């Protein structure tokens, strides 16, 4: 028969206690492991992108010419309609002004009279000259006859000038287009009395073969804009500005790209902004003077860090993201971003670098130092989804 010693009796309860404690620790560890939540994370990489900024703009044709009468009279006939395309030199209006026809007739009659006077004076000189040569009459008689002839010729020249002026005024009764373009509104109708002092123009001819898009930038935007493009002077910088696009009022993008050709050198003290002008070709006349649109300016960026907007936290005007350390614990850090977003993501200027891992979403209950289970998402899939949106 085996005899159990007192020491052996003491060891058995201790062993049972140790076994039960070990089992309890394993259970706690298993429960702690189960409590670690999983979150989607992505490893950041440097990539290239293009930022696009829209500026409200007003469109104007390269020429907007007000058509005004230069003489007084009644509109006799209107040869064009609103919206019609016209060529330079095409007849637009005729004005009934009989007084100018009468002035032409009067001037012609004055010329005939002046020519007769010149002929008479010339005859007198021709008759006086041989008499003076024969000392029959004084040479002063010849000089007087020559002065009379000179005076008659001057009167003839004046009559011809008056005829020319009368013909010019008569030509003003036929109003022609000074440029190629499109006819605007025509507020006057046939029979309306018009004159050169009318506040309203007969119409406007807009040359829209090319269109100017005028837009503005505030002082800060203008400084950033100038720093983005290299060049020794403003002209060189504008040459380096890429082609810009035009977003029409219906949200569609105009087929022809344009070019920024002018930056006003003066900042408006009332608005704090400067005016810029982009030019667009308009071969089919889709763009019209007075229309509204937006000029879209691209900015190309190389080797930048992009983060989804949904991965950021806004706190007192600052942006924060959750970054993972080497042990898998998260830390809330501040990041600085560019003012212009790129679709659904931000361009980070400070706070993150390539290789950092951030929590994508669902982090509302996270706190600093908490360990998480990582559901790693590929960069391509994350940013492909954003670009599709």
Sequential pLDDT tens for the chain (389 residues): 445 554 554 445 544 545 455 555 555 554 444 578 899 999 999 988 888 889 999 999 998 899 999 989 999 999 999 989 999 999 999 999 888 889 999 999 999 999 999 999 898 888 888 877 777 777 787 788 889 889 999 999 999 999 999 999 899 999 999 999 899 999 999 999 998 888 899 999 999 899 999 999 888 888 877 777 777 777 777 788 889 999 999 999 999 999 998 888 788 888 888 899 999 999 988 998 889 999 999 888 888 999 999 999 998 889 999 999 888 899 999 999 988 787 788 999 999 999 999 999 988 888 999 999 999 998 888 887 555 54
Q: How far apart are the first and last CA of the chain?
A: 84
User: Cβ distance 86 to 67 under 8 Å?
Assistant: no
List, in order, residues 6 or more apart from 370 with CB less than 8 Å away: 329, 330
CA-CA distance, 139 to 147, in Å (whole number)?
13
Helices (H), the chain: 6-35, 98-133, 139-171, 219-228, 234-240, 379-388
Q: Which residues of 355-368 are buried (b: 16+ CB within 10 A; e: fewer)?
A: ebbbbbeebeebee
Structure tokens at 94: 């005729």
CA-CA distance, 194 to 158, in Å (whole number)?
30
Q: How many helices (H) and strands (E) does the chain have?
A: 6, 19
CA-CA distance, 228 to 140, in Å (whole number)?
86
Q: What domains appear along the chain, each with residue ranges and CATH number?
A: 38-53+302-388 (2.40.420.20), 69-94+176-200 (2.40.50.100), 98-171 (1.10.287.470), 205-301 (2.40.30.170)
């Amino acid at each position: 028969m085996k005899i159990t010693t007192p020491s052996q009796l003491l060891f058995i309860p201790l062993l049972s206690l140790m076994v039960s404690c070990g089992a309890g620790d394993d259970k706690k560890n298993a429960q702690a492991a189960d409590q670690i939540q999983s979150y989607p994370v992505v490893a950041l990489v440097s990539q290239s992108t293009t930022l696009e900024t829209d500026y409200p703009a007003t469109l104007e044709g390269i020429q907007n010419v007000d058509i005004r009468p230069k003489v007084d009279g009644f509109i006799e006939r209107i040869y064009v309609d609103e919206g019609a395309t016209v060529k330079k030199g095409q007849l637009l209006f005729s004005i009934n002004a009989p007084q100018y026809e009468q002035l032409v007739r009067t001037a012609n009659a004055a010329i005939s009279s002046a020519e007769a006077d010149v002929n008479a004076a010339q005859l007198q000189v021709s008759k006086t000259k041989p008499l003076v040569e024969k000392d029959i009459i004084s040479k002063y008689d010849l000089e007087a006859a020559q002065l009379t002839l000179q005076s008659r010729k001057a009167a003839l020249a004046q009559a011809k000038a008056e005829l020319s002026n009368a013909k010019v005024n008569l030509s003003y009764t036929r109003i022609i287009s000074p440029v190629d373009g499109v006819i605007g509104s025509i507020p006057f109708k046939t029979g309306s009395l018009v004159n050169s002092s009318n506040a309203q123009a007969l119409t406007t001819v807009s040359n829209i073969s090319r269109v100017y898009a005028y837009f503005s930038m505030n002082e800060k935007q203008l400084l950033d804009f100038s720093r983005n493009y290299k060049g020794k002077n403003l002209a060189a910088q504008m040459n380096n500005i890429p082609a810009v696009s035009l977003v029409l009022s219906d949200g569609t993008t105009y087929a022809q790209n344009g070019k920024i050709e002018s930056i006003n050198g003066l900042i408006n003290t009332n608005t704090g902004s400067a005016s810029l002008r982009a030019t667009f070709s308009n071969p089919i006349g889709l763009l019209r003077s007075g229309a509204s649109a937006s000029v879209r300016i691209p900015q190309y960026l190389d080797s930048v860090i992009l983060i989804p907007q949904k991965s950021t936290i806004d706190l007192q005007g600052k942006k924060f993201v959750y970054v993972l350390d080497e042990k898998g614990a998260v830390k809330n850090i501040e990041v600085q971003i560019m003012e212009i977003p790129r679709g659904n993501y931000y361009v980070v200027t400070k706070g993150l670098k390539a290789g950092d891992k951030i929590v994508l979403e669902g982090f509302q209950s996270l706190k600093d130092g908490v360990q998480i289970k990582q559901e790693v998402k590929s960069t391509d899939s994350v940013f492909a989804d954003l670009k599709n949106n």
